[in-house]
Amino acid sequence: MKLTLGFSPCPNDTFIFDALIHKKIDTGNLDFEVSFEDVETLNQQAFNNQLDITKLSYHAFAYANENYQLLDSGSALGFGVGPLLISHKDFDLERLKTSQAELKIGIPGKYTTANFLLSIAYPELANKEEMLFSDIEQKLINKEIDLGLIIHENRFTYQDKGLVKIMDLGDFWEQHTGCAIPLGGIVIKRDLPENIKQEVNRLIKESIEFAFTNPDSGIEFIKKHAQAMDEEVMFKHIELYVNEYSKNLGPEGRKAIDNMFNMALEKNVIPKISKNIYLNP
C-alpha cells in the first residue's frame, strides 16, 4: 500500500523520517511517496486534504481536524524551542503596545504556531506580512519590515547577521502554562483503516529510535535538504526539536497540546474542534 507523506526539508524532519522512507527499518507492505515543503505549504495542503500523512503546525491542525488525527509519534514539542520576535535594532517592548498600527511584522505563515503565539501575546499586532521563514532575516536587514517572527534554524543565525532578539515567545508560553511548547505534529487521514494508522504511528517511532541509535546513518540525506546549513547548526537544530516527545507524546505532551487549544479557543484564535484529536492508543 502506497501512502503520500509530506514533511519539511528541515533537519529535524529529515532526521525523523530518513530510516522510514529509505527502508532502514522494515515497513512491511507500506511504501511512502514523499513531498518536501515548508511548513506553511504543508498546512495549506492539509486544509485541502491532499496528503495521507503530513507534518503541520499545531495551530493549523485546529483547522484540519475534520479530516486528520494526530499521531503520537513525530511531533516537535519542547522547552526552549519557541519562535523568536527579532528586529534590526533594540526595541522597547512597550512600543509593541503603543505603536502597533505602525509596526510591520514578517511572519512565517498565518497558520504557523509561531503566529498563534504572537496572536496570544500581542493580539492587536495586525500589520503582518506572510513570507517564507528563511526570507525574514534578510527582510529585516533590508528594513522592509520592523519585526520578524523566526522559527527553525534561524534562531541560531540571526545574531550573526546583526539582528537582535526582542522577545522569546516560547518563554512567554512556558511562563504562562508550565508546559512544553507544541510546535508541529504528524497527522494522518481519519478515513484510513485503523490498523494502517496504528502501523504508521509505530513505524515513525521506530524510525526515530533508529536515528537516535544510528545518528550518522542519515547524515548525507539530512545535509542534502538542509539548504547549505552549517553542520553545527544542523545538529543543534536536531537536538533542539527531536526528543522524547517526538517518540511518544505521552500524558505531558497531550496536556501541552490540550492547553494550547483551550487557550486558543478562549481567545477566539481557532474554531471549535469538533472531533477527537488523538489516534486511540
DSSP 114-152: HHHHHHHH-TT---EEE--GGGHHHHHHTTS-SEEEE-G
CB 132, CB 108: distance < 8 Å: yes
> Cα–Cα distance between 85 and 171 in angstroms, integer?
11
Give the whole-angstrom CA distance, residue 187 versus residue 279. 9
CA separation for the pair 146, 67 (Å, rounded): 37
CA atoms in the 13 A half-sphere facing the CB of 13:
26
DSSP 108: S
Catalytically annotated residue among 22, 59, 88, 152: 152
C-alpha cell at 138: 534578510
DSSP H helical ranges for 27-124: 39-47, 58-64, 93-98, 113-121
The answer to whether 113 is a known ligand-binding residue is yes
Does the annotation place 14 within a ligand binding site?
no
DSSP-based three-state secondary structure for 169: helix
CA angle 142, 148, 153 (to 5 degrees): 100
56 carries a ligand binding annotation: yes
CB 19 within 8 A of CB 67: no
Distance CA 258, CA 244 (A): 18
For residue 57, say whether it is annotated as part of any ligand binding site: yes
88 is catalytic: no
Residues designated catalytic: 152
Instruction: Pick out the residues of the known binding site for substrate.
Output: 55-57, 113-114
Which residues contribute to the annotated binding site?
A: 55-57, 113-114
